[in-house]
Amino acid sequence: MNKPTIGVQMMMLRNKIEELGIKETFKKVKEIGFSTVELSQVPMTPENVEAIRESLDELGMRVCATSGALKAMAPGMKMENLRDDFDKIVADTKALGCKYIRIGMISFDCLGSKEKIVEYTKELNEMGRRLKEQGLELYYHNHHVEFAKYDGKYIMDIMAEESDPEYLGFELDVHWLQRGGVNPLEWIKKLEGRTKILHIKDYRIAQTLDLSGGMQEIMRSLAEMVQFAEIGEGSLDMKAIIDLATETGVEHIFIEQDDTYGKDPFESLEISARNLRKLGFGDRF
C-alpha cells in the first residue's frame, strides 16, 4: 500500500510569495520539512512558472497539482480559466511535471439552481475528458456550499452522479466537509477511487467573543467562532483521516489553512508539521 505524501497548498503562502519571492518561499517550505506542493492563487506568468520549475529542481521538490477555474467565478470577473485558456493551463501543468488540475470552487452563478449545477457538472465532465486526452486528470475541490440539498440530495451527490469517474475526481477538504455538516471519514470512503488528492486543515471553535456591540454584533461574532486551525489544534481526528486516506488510495494530501488569524503562516505550518510528526506521519513529508 502506497503512502500518500503530505505537502502544502501554496494559497496559504501567497502573501509570502509577494514578500519574499518564489524561491525563498519554497526554500522555507522545504526547511520546515515539506517536499510537495499544490499551486493556487500564484499568478502563472511565464516568469513565475519558470521560477517555480527552477526552485523545485534546485530544492528537490515537486508540484503535484495546479489550479484552474472552469469559467469565471462570476459574470464579468477576469481570471484564467479552462474555457478560455485551456492550452496555456495544460502547458503550464506539463511544464511543472504534474498531472492533476483541480477546480477550487463551483462558479458562484450556479448556486441556487439545480439545473445550473447539473449543467456545470456536465461541462466539468467534458473538460475532464479533454484533459485526459492530454494525459492529465481533473479534480473538483469542495467547500461547504456543496452540502445544500436539492430534492433530498446534496450538491456533492448530484455532481458525483452527473459525472463520469473516468473524467472527474474529487479533492475532498476535510474542514469544509465538517463545516458542511457531514462526516469527513464517511465522504472519503464514499468517494473512494475518485479522491486522489485531499486537503487537511483542522476545525476549531474560538474561545473569544466580541461583546462590545449590540446583540446583532454578538450573534455575528458567535457565527465567526468557527475557525480554520493548524493540524492537531482542533477537533478533527487527523490520524483517522490520514489512515483512511491511505487505505482508500489517496496519493497526495495538502495542508491548506485559509486563515491563520494574524499568525505568520510559516509558524502555522511548523505547528502542523510538528503535530503530524507526533501522529507518526513525518515520513510522508
Q: Indicate which CATH number applies to the domain containing 46.
A: 3.20.20.150
Radius of gyration of the chain (CA): 19
Query: What per-residue confidence (pLDDT) applies to 221?
Result: 87
pLDDT of 223 > 90? The answer is no
CA torsion, ordered 118, 77, 145, 231, to nearest 10 deg: 130
Instruction: Read off the pLDDT of each residue in 261-284 and give the average, rounded to a whole number.
Output: 97
Give per-residue burial for 196-231: e unless 16+ CB within 10 Å, then b: bbbbbbbbbeeeeeeeeeeeeeeeebeeeeebbbbb
CA separation for the pair 224, 207 (Å, rounded): 11
Its sign, for the CA torsion 278, 280, 283, 285, is negative
* Chain length of the chain: 285
- State how far the alpha carbon of 227 is from the alpha carbons of 198, 224, 258, 259, in Å: 19, 7, 9, 8
Task: Please give the angle made by the CA atoms of 112, 193 and 182, to the nearest 5 degrees.
Answer: 45
Query: What per-residue confidence (pLDDT) applies to 53?
Result: 97
CA separation for the pair 271, 69 (Å, rounded): 31
Q: Which residues make beta-bridge pairs with 5? A: 252
With cell 501522529, the residue in question is 279
Query: What per-residue confidence (pLDDT) applies to 211?
Result: 83
Query: What per-residue confidence (pLDDT) applies to 81?
Result: 97
pLDDT of 1 > 80? The answer is no
Query: What per-residue confidence (pLDDT) applies to 76?
Result: 85
Query: What per-residue confidence (pLDDT) applies to 241?
Result: 98
pLDDT of 210 > 90? The answer is no
Query: What per-residue confidence (pLDDT) applies to 224?
Result: 86
Quote the cell numbers at residue 65. Answer: 497539482
- Taking only the tens place, the pLDDT of each residue in 243-267 is 999 999 999 999 999 999 999 999 9
Please list the alpha-helical segments (H only) found in 206-282.
215-223, 238-247, 265-278
- Taking only the tens place, the pLDDT of each residue in 138-196 is 999 999 999 999 999 999 999 999 999 999 999 999 999 999 999 999 999 999 999 99
Give per-residue burial for 56-80: e unless 16+ CB within 10 Å, then b: beeeebbbbbbbbbbbbeeeeeeee
pLDDT of 79 > 80? The answer is yes
Instruction: Read off the pLDDT of each residue in 209-214 and give the average, rounded to a whole number.
Output: 84
Domain hosting 188: range is 5-284
Quote the cell numbers at residue 274. Answer: 510538528
Lowest model confidence (mean pLDDT) among 32-41, 199-208, 210-219: 210-219
pLDDT of 56 > 90? The answer is yes
Contact of 277 with 239, CB cutoff 8 Å: no
> How many domains are there within the chain?
1
Task: Please give the angle made by the CA atoms of 39, 42 and 46, to the nearest 5 degrees.
Answer: 100
Query: What per-residue confidence (pLDDT) applies to 209?
Result: 83
Residues 6+ apart with CB under 8 A from 268: 12, 230, 257, 260
Query: What per-residue confidence (pLDDT) applies to 159?
Result: 98
Quote the cell numbers at residue 195. Answer: 479522491
